[in-house]
Chains A and B, each alone.
Chain A
């Protein structure tokens, strides 16, 4: 069974640009969550999607958005990039929502210059 796939693995963007990251969950999984990892803040929850609906949102500005498609694949978008958005962005896939194991992808390393 294939794991969680995130693309691209690495990305360099300029301040002010926007970026779209993609996540394909484990086959059959319907919940996709996104996290940001930085050295200072650790792993922080961005949002969760289940059956194309956003179920939960973390404490991030509106520049961070996401969506989920009918095949459970998900994208997250960051607009007007800031230097502080440089981070490892991780996608997690779960079979259901609530009290189930979440399996992570390899992440996308975003560098904003």
Chain B
């Protein structure tokens, strides 16, 4: 049973435009969410996180939105840059533990 789902395997956007990556979860016990960026054969790089007590968190070009009632979160990247091209993973935890449950990832391609 996949508790964290990223339904779009890939996304392609033009440089300078907005990239929106989506993530859905099923476990209502999840209360902390993270986004990671990953290149092949490397470890994931932490981007941004959000606690369930918030509905938005911003860090530079990255903003994460959380809709608890819909069990949905999204990562907005504005403006998108070619260097943002990578696989993006959504992850969730249920507090009290560092066990992260990951989605399968979305491959973002930003075209110059």
Interface flag for B43 (CB, 8 Å) = yes
Smallest Cβ-Cβ distance to A55: which chain B residue: B97
Q: Which of A44, A88, A92, A109 contacts B98 (CB 8 A)?
A: A92
Minimum CB–CB distance from B44 to chain A (whole Å) comes to 5
Q: How far is the CA of A58 from the CA of B45 in the complex (A)?
A: 22
Q: Which of A42, A90, A100, A107 has the most CB of B within 10 A?
A: A42
With CB as the reference atom, state the residue of chain A lying closest to B31. A99
Provide the residues of chain B in CB contact with A6, threshold 8 Å.
43
Choose one: A88, A102, A106; the contact of B100 (CB below 8 Å). Answer: A102
Number of interface residues of B (CB under 8 A): 26
**What 0/1 pattern do residues 29 to 61 of A give for CB contact below 8 A with B?**
001010100000011110010100001101000
Are A56 and B41 also in contact (CB < 8 A) when A99-B31, A99-B32, A101-B34 are? no
Q: How far is the CB of A110 from chain B (nearest CB, A)?
A: 12
- Is B99 at the interface (CB under 8 A from chain A)? yes
Specify the main secondary structure of chain A where it touches its partner. Answer: strand
Structural contact, B100 and A33, CB atoms closer than 8 A: yes
Q: Are A107 and B42 in contact (CB under 8 A)?
A: yes
Q: Is A101 a contact of B46 with CB atoms below 8 Å?
A: yes
Q: A90-B44, A104-B44, A107-B42 are in contact. Are A56 and B98 (CB under 8 A)?
A: yes
The residues of A with any CB-CB pair to B shorter than 8 Å are: 4, 6, 31, 33, 35, 42-45, 48, 50, 55-56, 58, 88, 90, 92, 94, 97-107, 109
